[in-house]
Amino acid sequence: MDESSEVIKNNDRAMKTVILYEALQKKPIFGSYRRFCHLVGNDAMEYRDFEFWYYRFYHGQTDFDYDRSEDPVSKTIMDMPVSLMYKITENLDPVERSNLRRMNKSLKAVADSHVPVFEKIKIYGSDGYLNWELNDKSFDCHKKEYGCDLFTPTHRIKSGQSFMKKSLEYLSPLFKIPKIQVNHLFLTLMSQSPALDDLLPAPFHAKSVKLDAFNMDQVFPFL
């Protein structure tokens, strides 16, 4: 997280200003929440709190100092029966479940109750970019003069972080999902950057593997 994001995260009015901006765009709330998390951090605000302020602002109620203590306790997604939450997450593909477990800690255990099986994972790394494909979904992170640009299947993210650090925010949790399985893993390393050594942070099962590296010294650590 860059310095400006940290400033916003530590200022309640600044966070509400970001939510107000998103509400004024009148775009779907889930996408707005994802952009908010990418800007401020996944742990800055729970979805239900974001939802509350988003819809107040969306309907023209822009009082930042509204006192919620007198409001009745609202229902949350965690009030749903576990069997229903299991059914919902069962209908998500492995990529969607991996995103869900990153965004909502409460649903992490439910998402992890399904064994994630990826048909293919392809990773291409160099000293200037990292590209990865999870089944049919593609991600690209490119080095810029002051940070990086990350392209996901749904949006573009500008970050002050290095391209490798930003990429690993997405990739590292993926390979730490319990019992993850991959039918076909393709890993291509076009440079000898030490940062690429951290691509696979934990052991996991893969039926077939193809490794292409700058030299053989890079191959052995991954094996």
pLDDT at 120: 93
**Do 200 and 167 have their domain in common?**
yes
**Do 122 and 218 have their domain in common?**
yes
Which of 47, 70, 93 is at the close of a domain?
Answer: 70
**Whether the predicted pLDDT of 126 surpasses 60:** yes
**Do 66 and 130 have their domain in common?**
no
* Residue 164, domain extent: 117-222
Burial class of residue 80 (count of CB atoms within 10 Å of its CB; 0-12, 13-18, 19+): middle
pLDDT at 66: 83
**Do 180 and 217 have their domain in common?**
yes
Burial class of residue 3 (count of CB atoms within 10 Å of its CB; 0-12, 13-18, 19+): exposed
**Do 159 and 188 have their domain in common?**
yes
CA pseudo-torsion sign 54, 59, 64, 67: negative
The CA-atom distances, in angstroms, between 105 and each of 2, 19, 79, 100 are 23, 21, 15, 9
Q: Tens digits of per-residue pLDDT, 74-89?
A: 666 666 676 777 777 7
Nearest CA among 147, 142, 146 for reference residue 162: 147
Task: Say how many domains are in the chain.
Answer: 3
Q: Tens digits of per-residue pLDDT, 39-74?
A: 888 778 888 888 888 998 988 888 888 877 766 666
Helix runs in 73-209, H state only? 82-90, 94-103, 105-111, 163-175
**Do 138 and 163 have their domain in common?**
yes
pLDDT at 139: 92
Would residue 133 be called left, alpha or beta, if left means φ above 0 and alpha means ψ between -120 and 50 degrees? beta
**Do 173 and 211 have their domain in common?**
yes
**Do 211 and 123 have their domain in common?**
yes
**Whether the predicted pLDDT of 20 surpasses 80:** yes
Strand order in the sheet with 205-212: 156-159, 147-151, 137-144, 129-134, 117-125, 181-189, 205-212
**Whether the predicted pLDDT of 216 surpasses 60:** yes
The pLDDT-based confidence of 153 (bands split at 50, 70, 90) is: confident
**Whether the predicted pLDDT of 171 surpasses 80:** yes
Q: What value does the mean pLDDT take over residues 16-37? A: 87
**Do 144 and 215 have their domain in common?**
yes
pLDDT at 122: 92
**Whether the predicted pLDDT of 207 surpasses 60:** yes
Nearest CA among 178, 217, 179 for reference residue 197: 217
**Whether the predicted pLDDT of 1 surpasses 60:** no
Reported pTM: 0.57
pLDDT at 215: 67
**Do 138 and 215 have their domain in common?**
yes
